[in-house]
Amino acid sequence: MENRMFGGIYGTVLASALLAALQSEGERFTPVYDALWILVTAVAAGLVHGYAHHMAVHRTGSAAVRWRRLFTALGDEWPLVVAVLPTVALLLLAGAADWSEGPVSTAGLALNTLLLGGWGTFVALKSGYRRTSAVLVGLADATIGLAIAVANALIK
């Protein structure tokens, strides 16, 4: 459960940051290209995180055992990749429907902010928080998404 919660939050923040960073700034909007880069980056981040975790807790054992542990560590990173899929789907839909960049970016950042709030609330409830406190944690997590949106507006 811990990896799913970590991956969900981390992947959603990653998707928001990449969505903001990949804005075209006067260039032609390429939502399919952006979607693929978000997906590739999430897969790479998951592989690197899984490998780093595996190496950090490296224990002795036969080669077969070490390989199995490595593949288990890499497999534990799937929630991070799954968490970027709403943003990837939105961008693919934008490419198919020929939507303009501004509304797509705004919708993506808003969606991810809502997802961060949901993840935060869910994680807090699973960790034993009461409902009111869990919602406050969710709002705090959603603030991360809002901060990315504000930073995007200020930087761009």
The pLDDT confidence band at residue 3, using thresholds 50, 70 and 90, is low
Q: Could you tell me the residue range of the domain that residue 85 belongs to?
A: 2-155
Question: Residue 71 above 70 pLDDT?
Answer: yes
Say which amino acid occupies 85. Answer: L
DSSP string, 56-118: HT-----HHHHHHHHHHHHHTTHHHHHHTHHHHHHHHHHHHHT--HHHHHHHHHHHHHHHHHH
Q: 77 or 87, which is more confident? A: 87
Average pLDDT for the chain: 89
Look at the chain and report how many structural domains it folds into: 1
**Per-residue pLDDT, 2:** 67
Q: Which two tokens stand for residue 36?
A: 């693929």
Question: Residue 132 above 90 pLDDT?
Answer: yes
Q: What is d(CA 76, CA 67) in angstroms, rounded to the nearest whole number?
A: 14
The pLDDT confidence band at residue 34, using thresholds 50, 70 and 90, is very high
The pLDDT confidence band at residue 6, using thresholds 50, 70 and 90, is confident
Question: Residue 59 above 70 pLDDT?
Answer: yes
∠ CA(70), CA(53), CA(145), 5° rounding?
125
Q: What is d(CA 66, CA 31) in angstroms, rounded to the nearest whole number?
A: 40
Q: What is d(CA 120, CA 102) in angstroms, rounded to the nearest whole number?
A: 27
**Per-residue pLDDT, 83:** 95
CB 19 within 8 A of CB 87: yes
